[in-house]
Structure 1
Amino acid sequence: MVNRQIFSAGKLGDKSDVLTHAARLFREKGFEKTSLKEIAEACSMLPGSLHYRYKTKEALLVELMRWGVDLVSSEVESAYESSDDPAEQLRLCINAHLRALLVDSDAVYVLLFEWRALRPEARKDVIDLRDQYESLWSRIIENTVENGVTRKNIDHRLLRLFGLGALNWVATWFDPNGDHSLDAIGDFIWQIAIDGVVNKGTQT
Protein backbone atom coordinates (compact mmCIF):
# COMPACT_ATOMS: atom_id res chain seq x y z
CA MET A 1 0.00 0.00 0.00
CA VAL A 2 1.27 3.46 -0.85
CA ASN A 3 1.61 5.66 2.22
CA ARG A 4 0.02 9.10 1.84
CA GLN A 5 3.00 10.64 3.64
CA ILE A 6 5.29 9.57 0.81
CA PHE A 7 3.71 12.33 -1.24
CA SER A 8 3.83 15.01 1.43
CA ALA A 9 5.62 18.31 0.91
CA GLY A 10 9.26 18.06 0.03
CA LYS A 11 9.47 14.26 -0.03
CA LEU A 12 9.75 13.89 -3.78
CA GLY A 13 10.83 17.38 -4.74
CA ASP A 14 9.02 20.47 -5.95
CA LYS A 15 6.90 18.77 -8.61
CA SER A 16 5.25 16.32 -6.22
CA ASP A 17 4.94 19.09 -3.64
CA VAL A 18 2.95 21.22 -6.10
CA LEU A 19 0.78 18.33 -7.22
CA THR A 20 0.06 17.27 -3.65
CA HIS A 21 -1.05 20.74 -2.57
CA ALA A 22 -3.01 21.30 -5.78
CA ALA A 23 -4.83 17.99 -5.34
CA ARG A 24 -5.80 18.86 -1.77
CA LEU A 25 -7.09 22.30 -2.72
CA PHE A 26 -8.96 21.05 -5.78
CA ARG A 27 -10.60 18.39 -3.65
CA GLU A 28 -11.51 20.77 -0.82
CA LYS A 29 -12.60 23.79 -2.86
CA GLY A 30 -13.15 22.50 -6.38
CA PHE A 31 -11.09 23.29 -9.46
CA GLU A 32 -13.00 26.43 -10.43
CA LYS A 33 -12.74 28.04 -6.99
CA THR A 34 -9.02 27.36 -6.53
CA SER A 35 -6.51 29.86 -7.90
CA LEU A 36 -2.91 29.33 -8.93
CA LYS A 37 -2.01 31.96 -6.33
CA GLU A 38 -3.52 29.82 -3.58
CA ILE A 39 -1.61 26.77 -4.80
CA ALA A 40 1.63 28.77 -4.91
CA GLU A 41 1.06 30.02 -1.36
CA ALA A 42 0.40 26.48 -0.14
CA CYS A 43 3.73 25.43 -1.68
CA SER A 44 5.58 28.48 -0.32
CA MET A 45 6.32 29.53 -3.90
CA LEU A 46 6.04 32.82 -5.70
CA PRO A 47 3.04 32.83 -8.09
CA GLY A 48 5.39 33.64 -10.95
CA SER A 49 7.48 30.54 -10.26
CA LEU A 50 4.39 28.34 -10.41
CA HIS A 51 3.19 30.09 -13.57
CA TYR A 52 6.58 29.45 -15.18
CA ARG A 53 6.10 25.73 -14.64
CA TYR A 54 2.37 25.60 -15.47
CA LYS A 55 1.16 28.26 -17.89
CA THR A 56 -2.46 27.65 -16.92
CA LYS A 57 -4.39 26.08 -14.08
CA GLU A 58 -5.73 23.60 -16.61
CA ALA A 59 -2.20 22.45 -17.46
CA LEU A 60 -1.62 21.79 -13.77
CA LEU A 61 -4.87 19.84 -13.54
CA VAL A 62 -3.91 17.63 -16.51
CA GLU A 63 -0.51 16.90 -14.95
CA LEU A 64 -2.24 16.08 -11.68
CA MET A 65 -4.62 13.70 -13.40
CA ARG A 66 -1.74 11.91 -15.12
CA TRP A 67 -0.22 11.42 -11.69
CA GLY A 68 -3.53 10.12 -10.37
CA VAL A 69 -3.81 7.53 -13.14
CA ASP A 70 -0.25 6.37 -12.51
CA LEU A 71 -0.94 6.05 -8.79
CA VAL A 72 -4.17 4.08 -8.98
CA SER A 73 -2.82 1.88 -11.80
CA SER A 74 0.25 1.05 -9.72
CA GLU A 75 -1.87 0.24 -6.68
CA VAL A 76 -4.19 -2.08 -8.58
CA GLU A 77 -1.39 -3.79 -10.51
CA SER A 78 0.51 -4.44 -7.27
CA ALA A 79 -2.60 -5.93 -5.71
CA TYR A 80 -3.16 -8.10 -8.77
CA GLU A 81 0.40 -9.43 -8.71
CA SER A 82 0.25 -10.24 -5.00
CA SER A 83 -1.88 -13.35 -5.55
CA ASP A 84 -2.12 -16.20 -8.06
CA ASP A 85 -5.79 -16.88 -7.28
CA PRO A 86 -8.01 -15.07 -9.85
CA ALA A 87 -10.90 -14.73 -7.39
CA GLU A 88 -8.63 -13.32 -4.68
CA GLN A 89 -6.96 -11.04 -7.23
CA LEU A 90 -10.32 -9.48 -7.96
CA ARG A 91 -11.01 -8.87 -4.27
CA LEU A 92 -7.58 -7.36 -3.70
CA CYS A 93 -7.92 -5.08 -6.72
CA ILE A 94 -11.29 -3.79 -5.50
CA ASN A 95 -9.75 -2.82 -2.17
CA ALA A 96 -6.67 -1.32 -3.85
CA HIS A 97 -8.84 0.95 -5.99
CA LEU A 98 -10.72 2.16 -2.92
CA ARG A 99 -7.49 2.84 -1.02
CA ALA A 100 -6.03 4.82 -3.90
CA LEU A 101 -9.23 6.84 -4.17
CA LEU A 102 -9.80 7.58 -0.50
CA VAL A 103 -6.54 7.12 1.41
CA ASP A 104 -3.38 7.35 -0.65
CA SER A 105 -3.79 10.58 -2.60
CA ASP A 106 -6.28 13.34 -3.33
CA ALA A 107 -5.13 13.13 -6.98
CA VAL A 108 -7.29 10.10 -7.78
CA TYR A 109 -10.37 11.78 -6.34
CA VAL A 110 -9.69 14.90 -8.43
CA LEU A 111 -9.15 12.73 -11.50
CA LEU A 112 -12.60 11.20 -11.12
CA PHE A 113 -14.62 14.28 -10.24
CA GLU A 114 -12.95 17.28 -11.93
CA TRP A 115 -12.25 16.08 -15.48
CA ARG A 116 -15.36 17.86 -16.77
CA ALA A 117 -13.71 21.17 -15.86
CA LEU A 118 -11.27 20.68 -18.75
CA ARG A 119 -11.71 22.12 -22.22
CA PRO A 120 -12.49 19.57 -24.97
CA GLU A 121 -8.91 19.17 -26.23
CA ALA A 122 -7.48 18.60 -22.75
CA ARG A 123 -10.47 16.48 -21.77
CA LYS A 124 -9.71 14.06 -24.61
CA ASP A 125 -6.22 13.44 -23.24
CA VAL A 126 -7.58 12.71 -19.78
CA ILE A 127 -10.32 10.45 -21.16
CA ASP A 128 -7.59 8.51 -22.99
CA LEU A 129 -5.78 8.10 -19.65
CA ARG A 130 -9.00 6.96 -17.99
CA ASP A 131 -9.56 4.46 -20.79
CA GLN A 132 -6.07 3.04 -20.23
CA TYR A 133 -6.90 2.45 -16.59
CA GLU A 134 -10.24 0.87 -17.45
CA SER A 135 -8.43 -1.45 -19.88
CA LEU A 136 -6.47 -2.73 -16.89
CA TRP A 137 -9.76 -3.69 -15.26
CA SER A 138 -10.89 -5.30 -18.50
CA ARG A 139 -7.85 -7.56 -18.34
CA ILE A 140 -8.52 -8.36 -14.69
CA ILE A 141 -12.11 -9.36 -15.46
CA GLU A 142 -11.06 -11.30 -18.58
CA ASN A 143 -8.63 -13.26 -16.43
CA THR A 144 -11.47 -14.31 -14.14
CA VAL A 145 -13.43 -15.46 -17.19
CA GLU A 146 -10.52 -17.42 -18.63
CA ASN A 147 -10.01 -19.17 -15.30
CA GLY A 148 -13.68 -20.02 -14.85
CA VAL A 149 -14.25 -17.63 -11.97
CA THR A 150 -16.75 -15.26 -13.59
CA ARG A 151 -19.72 -16.66 -15.45
CA LYS A 152 -19.38 -16.33 -19.21
CA ASN A 153 -22.99 -15.27 -19.70
CA ILE A 154 -22.31 -11.96 -17.90
CA ASP A 155 -21.82 -8.80 -20.00
CA HIS A 156 -18.25 -8.13 -18.89
CA ARG A 157 -18.06 -4.61 -20.30
CA LEU A 158 -21.19 -3.69 -18.37
CA LEU A 159 -19.75 -5.39 -15.29
CA ARG A 160 -16.62 -3.22 -15.56
CA LEU A 161 -18.59 0.00 -16.00
CA PHE A 162 -21.03 -0.81 -13.22
CA GLY A 163 -18.31 -2.04 -10.89
CA LEU A 164 -16.03 0.97 -11.28
CA GLY A 165 -19.01 3.30 -10.98
CA ALA A 166 -19.98 1.69 -7.67
CA LEU A 167 -16.41 1.88 -6.36
CA ASN A 168 -16.00 5.51 -7.35
CA TRP A 169 -19.30 6.51 -5.78
CA VAL A 170 -18.01 5.38 -2.39
CA ALA A 171 -15.92 8.57 -2.41
CA THR A 172 -19.10 10.66 -2.16
CA TRP A 173 -20.34 9.11 1.08
CA PHE A 174 -17.49 7.32 2.85
CA ASP A 175 -16.88 8.49 6.43
CA PRO A 176 -13.51 7.41 7.88
CA ASN A 177 -15.07 7.73 11.32
CA GLY A 178 -18.16 5.78 10.35
CA ASP A 179 -19.28 2.26 11.20
CA HIS A 180 -17.52 0.56 8.27
CA SER A 181 -13.85 0.55 7.39
CA LEU A 182 -12.75 0.95 3.80
CA ASP A 183 -11.64 -2.68 3.62
CA ALA A 184 -15.00 -3.79 5.01
CA ILE A 185 -16.77 -1.82 2.29
CA GLY A 186 -14.49 -3.33 -0.35
CA ASP A 187 -15.16 -6.82 0.94
CA PHE A 188 -18.90 -6.12 0.94
CA ILE A 189 -18.69 -5.12 -2.73
CA TRP A 190 -16.71 -8.29 -3.31
CA GLN A 191 -19.45 -10.33 -1.61
CA ILE A 192 -22.00 -8.80 -3.98
CA ALA A 193 -19.79 -9.92 -6.86
CA ILE A 194 -19.69 -13.45 -5.44
CA ASP A 195 -23.47 -13.56 -5.15
CA GLY A 196 -24.08 -12.02 -8.55
CA VAL A 197 -21.45 -12.93 -11.14
CA VAL A 198 -18.93 -15.40 -9.72
CA ASN A 199 -19.24 -19.12 -10.32
CA LYS A 200 -20.24 -20.65 -7.00
CA GLY A 201 -17.54 -23.32 -7.18
CA THR A 202 -14.76 -20.71 -7.08
CA GLN A 203 -15.72 -18.93 -3.85
CA THR A 204 -12.86 -18.52 -1.40
Structure 2
Amino acid sequence: MSIKRIGILGAGRAGTALARAAASAGIEVHIAASRPPRMLKYHLAQYASHATGVLAEDIAHDVDLVVLMVPQEELDDIDVSSLAGTLLIDATNRWEDEPLPHWFESALDAGLSSSEAIAAHFKSSHVVKALNHISHWDMDADRATKQAAQRALGVASDSSENAGTVCELTQALGFSPVALPSLAAGRGMEPGGAVFNEVLDAVELAERLGLNTD
Protein backbone atom coordinates (compact mmCIF):
# COMPACT_ATOMS: atom_id res chain seq x y z
CA MET A 1 0.00 0.00 0.00
CA SER A 2 1.32 3.44 -0.92
CA ILE A 3 -0.25 5.23 2.07
CA LYS A 4 2.14 5.02 5.01
CA ARG A 5 1.26 8.07 7.11
CA ILE A 6 -1.78 10.33 7.34
CA GLY A 7 -2.54 13.57 9.14
CA ILE A 8 -5.83 14.20 10.91
CA LEU A 9 -7.03 17.73 11.67
CA GLY A 10 -9.39 17.29 14.59
CA ALA A 11 -8.94 15.21 17.73
CA GLY A 12 -12.58 14.80 18.70
CA ARG A 13 -14.54 11.55 18.62
CA ALA A 14 -14.43 11.25 14.83
CA GLY A 15 -10.75 12.11 14.55
CA THR A 16 -9.62 9.72 17.26
CA ALA A 17 -11.84 6.93 15.89
CA LEU A 18 -10.18 7.32 12.50
CA ALA A 19 -6.77 7.40 14.19
CA ARG A 20 -7.50 4.07 15.89
CA ALA A 21 -8.78 2.51 12.66
CA ALA A 22 -5.76 3.71 10.71
CA ALA A 23 -3.33 2.46 13.34
CA SER A 24 -5.03 -0.94 13.26
CA ALA A 25 -4.41 -0.97 9.50
CA GLY A 26 -0.71 -0.31 10.03
CA ILE A 27 -0.87 3.36 9.02
CA GLU A 28 1.09 5.92 11.02
CA VAL A 29 -1.03 8.82 12.26
CA HIS A 30 -0.23 12.45 13.03
CA ILE A 31 -3.09 14.34 14.66
CA ALA A 32 -3.63 18.00 15.47
CA ALA A 33 -6.24 20.06 17.27
CA SER A 34 -6.69 23.61 18.46
CA ARG A 35 -4.69 22.68 21.56
CA PRO A 36 -0.91 22.25 21.28
CA PRO A 37 0.51 18.70 21.31
CA ARG A 38 1.65 18.90 24.94
CA MET A 39 -1.98 19.48 25.96
CA LEU A 40 -3.18 16.54 23.86
CA LYS A 41 -0.96 13.91 25.48
CA TYR A 42 -3.47 12.61 28.03
CA HIS A 43 -6.36 12.78 25.56
CA LEU A 44 -4.45 10.81 22.94
CA ALA A 45 -3.22 8.31 25.52
CA GLN A 46 -6.87 7.58 26.29
CA TYR A 47 -8.43 7.66 22.82
CA ALA A 48 -5.71 7.30 20.16
CA SER A 49 -2.63 5.92 21.84
CA HIS A 50 -0.76 5.16 18.61
CA ALA A 51 -1.21 8.67 17.17
CA THR A 52 1.42 11.40 17.39
CA GLY A 53 0.24 14.87 18.31
CA VAL A 54 1.59 17.70 16.14
CA LEU A 55 0.92 21.39 15.68
CA ALA A 56 -1.98 22.18 13.35
CA GLU A 57 0.27 24.21 11.07
CA ASP A 58 2.54 21.15 10.69
CA ILE A 59 -0.17 18.58 9.98
CA ALA A 60 0.66 18.32 6.27
CA HIS A 61 4.39 17.79 6.82
CA ASP A 62 5.67 14.37 5.74
CA VAL A 63 2.25 12.71 5.34
CA ASP A 64 0.55 11.21 2.30
CA LEU A 65 -2.73 13.04 2.89
CA VAL A 66 -4.66 15.03 5.49
CA VAL A 67 -8.17 14.30 6.74
CA LEU A 68 -10.22 17.33 7.74
CA MET A 69 -12.37 16.40 10.77
CA VAL A 70 -13.03 19.69 12.54
CA PRO A 71 -16.46 21.31 13.00
CA GLN A 72 -17.20 23.47 9.97
CA GLU A 73 -17.60 26.50 12.21
CA GLU A 74 -13.85 26.19 12.99
CA LEU A 75 -12.67 26.21 9.37
CA ASP A 76 -11.47 29.80 9.63
CA ASP A 77 -9.01 28.70 12.32
CA ILE A 78 -7.06 26.68 9.74
CA ASP A 79 -4.14 28.28 7.92
CA VAL A 80 -5.02 27.66 4.27
CA SER A 81 -1.38 27.96 3.20
CA SER A 82 -0.35 25.12 5.53
CA LEU A 83 -2.35 22.70 3.38
CA ALA A 84 -1.17 23.93 -0.03
CA GLY A 85 -0.48 21.06 -2.40
CA THR A 86 -1.99 18.54 0.02
CA LEU A 87 -4.48 15.81 -0.79
CA LEU A 88 -7.21 16.92 1.62
CA ILE A 89 -10.06 14.59 2.54
CA ASP A 90 -13.12 16.58 3.58
CA ALA A 91 -14.75 14.43 6.26
CA THR A 92 -16.72 17.34 7.73
CA ASN A 93 -20.49 17.66 7.89
CA ARG A 94 -22.86 20.57 7.90
CA TRP A 95 -25.27 20.54 10.84
CA GLU A 96 -28.44 22.58 11.16
CA ASP A 97 -28.01 25.83 13.11
CA GLU A 98 -24.20 25.46 13.23
CA PRO A 99 -22.63 28.89 12.72
CA LEU A 100 -20.56 28.88 9.55
CA PRO A 101 -17.88 31.17 8.12
CA HIS A 102 -19.23 33.85 5.80
CA TRP A 103 -17.42 32.45 2.75
CA PHE A 104 -18.95 29.04 3.45
CA GLU A 105 -22.47 30.42 3.72
CA SER A 106 -22.00 32.39 0.51
CA ALA A 107 -20.84 29.29 -1.37
CA LEU A 108 -23.82 27.28 -0.14
CA ASP A 109 -26.18 30.10 -1.13
CA ALA A 110 -24.62 29.97 -4.60
CA GLY A 111 -25.63 26.31 -4.86
CA LEU A 112 -22.34 24.60 -4.11
CA SER A 113 -22.11 21.47 -2.00
CA SER A 114 -20.24 21.77 1.29
CA SER A 115 -17.15 20.06 -0.17
CA GLU A 116 -17.18 22.32 -3.21
CA ALA A 117 -17.28 25.27 -0.82
CA ILE A 118 -14.26 23.88 1.04
CA ALA A 119 -12.43 23.21 -2.24
CA ALA A 120 -13.04 26.81 -3.32
CA HIS A 121 -11.60 28.08 -0.03
CA PHE A 122 -8.64 25.70 0.10
CA LYS A 123 -7.78 26.46 -3.52
CA SER A 124 -4.25 25.05 -3.38
CA SER A 125 -5.35 21.72 -1.88
CA HIS A 126 -6.74 18.70 -3.71
CA VAL A 127 -10.09 18.13 -2.01
CA VAL A 128 -11.87 14.77 -1.93
CA LYS A 129 -15.11 14.08 -0.04
CA ALA A 130 -14.94 10.86 2.00
CA LEU A 131 -15.22 9.28 5.46
CA ASN A 132 -18.02 11.61 6.53
CA HIS A 133 -21.12 9.44 6.23
CA ILE A 134 -20.14 6.85 8.85
CA SER A 135 -20.46 7.39 12.60
CA HIS A 136 -17.41 7.43 14.84
CA TRP A 137 -18.79 4.33 16.56
CA ASP A 138 -18.69 2.40 13.30
CA MET A 139 -15.37 3.78 12.06
CA ASP A 140 -13.22 1.48 14.20
CA ALA A 141 -15.84 -1.11 15.16
CA ASP A 142 -15.27 -4.85 14.80
CA ARG A 143 -16.07 -5.75 11.20
CA ALA A 144 -15.99 -9.51 11.72
CA THR A 145 -19.56 -9.95 10.45
CA LYS A 146 -20.14 -10.28 6.72
CA GLN A 147 -22.40 -7.21 6.61
CA ALA A 148 -19.86 -5.05 8.40
CA ALA A 149 -16.99 -6.34 6.26
CA GLN A 150 -18.84 -5.36 3.08
CA ARG A 151 -19.87 -1.87 4.19
CA ALA A 152 -19.25 0.65 1.45
CA LEU A 153 -18.12 4.26 1.73
CA GLY A 154 -18.31 6.86 -1.02
CA VAL A 155 -15.33 8.77 -2.40
CA ALA A 156 -16.24 11.93 -4.34
CA SER A 157 -13.63 13.77 -6.39
CA ASP A 158 -13.07 15.65 -9.63
CA SER A 159 -9.79 13.74 -10.03
CA SER A 160 -9.72 10.00 -10.69
CA GLU A 161 -6.13 9.88 -9.43
CA ASN A 162 -6.99 11.51 -6.11
CA ALA A 163 -10.10 9.37 -5.80
CA GLY A 164 -7.96 6.28 -6.34
CA THR A 165 -5.65 7.23 -3.49
CA VAL A 166 -8.55 7.81 -1.11
CA CYS A 167 -10.21 4.58 -2.25
CA GLU A 168 -6.97 2.82 -1.31
CA LEU A 169 -7.14 4.33 2.18
CA THR A 170 -10.82 3.44 2.51
CA GLN A 171 -10.08 -0.16 1.60
CA ALA A 172 -7.16 -0.32 4.03
CA LEU A 173 -9.53 0.79 6.79
CA GLY A 174 -11.72 -2.23 6.01
CA PHE A 175 -14.45 -0.74 3.83
CA SER A 176 -15.53 -1.13 0.22
CA PRO A 177 -14.85 2.17 -1.59
CA VAL A 178 -17.24 3.47 -4.23
CA ALA A 179 -15.85 6.24 -6.44
CA LEU A 180 -18.31 9.00 -7.33
CA PRO A 181 -17.87 10.88 -10.64
CA SER A 182 -17.35 14.35 -9.18
CA LEU A 183 -16.88 16.32 -5.98
CA ALA A 184 -20.39 17.72 -6.44
CA ALA A 185 -21.78 14.17 -6.35
CA GLY A 186 -20.70 14.01 -2.72
CA ARG A 187 -23.85 15.96 -1.84
CA GLY A 188 -25.61 12.62 -1.44
CA MET A 189 -23.15 11.75 1.34
CA GLU A 190 -24.02 14.80 3.43
CA PRO A 191 -26.43 14.74 6.41
CA GLY A 192 -29.91 14.15 5.04
CA GLY A 193 -28.44 12.63 1.88
CA ALA A 194 -29.27 9.25 0.42
CA VAL A 195 -26.45 7.32 2.09
CA PHE A 196 -25.64 9.31 5.22
CA ASN A 197 -25.11 6.94 8.17
CA GLU A 198 -26.60 4.05 6.19
CA VAL A 199 -25.04 0.58 6.28
CA LEU A 200 -24.89 -0.41 2.61
CA ASP A 201 -22.75 -2.60 0.41
CA ALA A 202 -21.12 -1.20 -2.72
CA VAL A 203 -24.00 -2.05 -5.05
CA GLU A 204 -26.61 -0.63 -2.68
CA LEU A 205 -24.65 2.57 -2.12
CA ALA A 206 -24.17 3.09 -5.85
CA GLU A 207 -27.88 2.55 -6.47
CA ARG A 208 -28.87 5.00 -3.72
CA LEU A 209 -26.65 7.63 -5.33
CA GLY A 210 -27.97 6.93 -8.81
CA LEU A 211 -24.65 5.68 -10.14
CA ASN A 212 -24.45 3.46 -13.20
CA THR A 213 -23.39 0.02 -11.95
CA ASP A 214 -23.35 -1.72 -15.36
**TM-score, normalised via structure 1 length:** 0.28
Larger relative contact order (CA 8 Å, sep ≥ 6): 1
**When you count helix as a share of all residues, which structure comes out higher?**
1
Compute the TM-score of the two structures, normalised by the length of structure 2.
0.27
Higher relative strand content: 2
Structure of greater Rg: 1
